[in-house]
Amino acid sequence: MNLEIDNQLVTLATLRAAWEESVDVTLGAEARRRIAESNEFIVEVVAGGEQVYGVNTGFGQLAQVRIDDDQLAQLQENLVSSHAVGVGEDLGDEIVRLIMLIKVIALAEGFSGVRLELVETLCELINHRIYPCIPSRGSVGASGDLAPLAHMAGALIGNGEVRVDGKVMSASAALKKAGIKPVRLAPKEGLALLNGTQVSTALALAAVFRTENILSAALVAGAMSADAIKGSDTPFDKRIQNVRGHGGQIAVAGVLRELMRGSEIRASHVDCGRVQDPYSIRCQPQVIGACLDVLRHVCSVLETESNAVTDNPLVFADSKLILSGGNFHAEPVALAADYLALAIAEIGALSERRIALLIDSHHSGLPAFLVKDGGLNSGFMMAQVTAAALASENKSHAHPASVDSIPTSANQEDHVSMATFAARRLHTMLDNIADIVAIELLAAAQGIEFHRPQKSSNSISDVISGLRKISPAYENDRSLSADIRQVAATVNAGEYCDYAASVLPSLST
């Protein structure tokens, strides 16, 4: 993908594309002009001897310490080196690519005072697929994602390690191989690179995109489970949804109706005596629809944040002002991530309840534990236990991270967002629900096949055909672990998105 950054809104769809594949980034004429004007004012301020935080002072509680002009470059490099204290496993290349892109977007707005050379070098790293090794832990989400962004900034000056084609090497060697000259930081540039919410935002964006993939699969699995237990599609009638009015509910019901359209199994019991199905079947539009509304809200917040200027202080060259504020505080991202965590937990919880329904012969009308010769065979008994364990684990992960502020920097930073952890823990939750939904897909496919020769809808039949290429029908007891893993991989890869693309924020625009 080729992307020119020129102070336009970078959409969620574009950000998703950058998460999925490599991107070549260039700066447009307007972005170049604004960057240059902002930097010219910083040069003017330094030459005039005015004391400005982060330009010629220390940082945090050391802001009152004035730094001599001949030490300003060293000040910025010291900042990068001293703040590069992240720990834990490195973030994946797709996350790092998003971080770097969002940082370019912020700097290109022209309120950071950096040189054009710095932003162009960051673009060059992206374009040469040089991804800094950024440890995943060590940020409290204010003043921005300082530690992880310091590791990103280190690569620009030739420090630390990077990944190129999946291989770890020194940043200096990678830059030399690509013909990129390491940057010698100028006043304010280290601070502009380190201040900002780009790591939290990238982690949350990636979680959004993964949630879209998994929600799509959950809708497919939910429709399959409804057909497997000979459930009714009447609760999905658009008139029921319209009188309540929630957009997500209306959209989800539409997807479920379309998935079940033309099912021979559904037609076979239109006049049966069952009055109502359990909530996990009947209330899918209400529950998953509410989750979709959460997802849409979170997408709006993150699209705004991805296009935001979040470093400090900010340079307003047109009015000749440098203003110190708090745009680096990632509370919007933290609260959005916590909100999304609730939706993720609910998607998994509802899927697990449908698995439990499928294996319960008293409620599903299917063979106990979805296997012939029950007793000799245990069937899907333990697969449901695995799903229950994962759903329960997600309840703990759903506890809001944003309420757990802890003071840092000798109480100068006395309230922090915890946005980085809030966003990072979403991926653990998503790993869990990908496995839960994979189990439901396998269980629902097994249940539907007990109704042969009656067939489900064409869409569901196509899904089952794809599943059977991975996992054969369960005739006798065997381990399902590898099957679950492989089906979960298709869920994470977005192979079910086509069935719900019309309702997904980043795919419907």
Cα dihedral value 325, 326, 327, 332, nearest 10: -150
Concerning whether 53 is annotated as a catalytic residue, the answer is: yes
| Amino acid identity, position 102 | I
Among candidate residues 53, 339, 474, 499, the one labeled active-site is: 53
| Amino acid identity, position 203 | L
Residues in the chain: 509
- Paired sense of beta strands 135-137 and 87-90, if any: antiparallel
Under DSSP, is residue 176 helix (H, G, I), strand (E, B) or coil? helix
- 411-415: long-range contacts (C-beta < 8 A, 24 or more apart)? 412/60, 412/61, 413/60, 413/140, 413/142, 413/143, 415/142
In sequence order, the 6+-apart residues with CB closer than 8 A to the CB of 453 are: none
Query: Do 103 and 308 contact (CB within 8 A), yes or no?
Result: no
Enumerate the β-bridge partners of residue 90: 135
The token duo for 359 is: 């294996």
Angle 10-14-15 (CA atoms, 0-180°, nearest 5)? 85
CA–CA distance, 187 with 52 (Å, rounded to integer): 10
The token duo for 123 is: 């673009």
CA–CA distance, 385 with 378 (Å, rounded to integer): 12
Supply the Cα-derived Rg of the chain in whole angstroms: 26
The token duo for 225 is: 């489970």
Query: Do 451 and 267 contact (CB within 8 A), yes or no?
Result: no
Query: Do 215 and 288 contact (CB within 8 A), yes or no?
Result: yes
> Which parts of 162-278 fold into alpha helices (H)?
171-178, 189-194, 198-228, 238-244, 247-260, 264-267
- Paired sense of beta strands 161-164 and 314-316, if any: unpaired
CA–CA distance, 142 with 195 (Å, rounded to integer): 8
Q: Is 293 exposed, middle or buried (0-12, 13-18, 19+ CB in 10 A)?
A: middle
> DSSP string of 243-271?
HH--HHHHHHHHHHHHHHTT-HHHHTTTT
Catalytic residue positions?
53
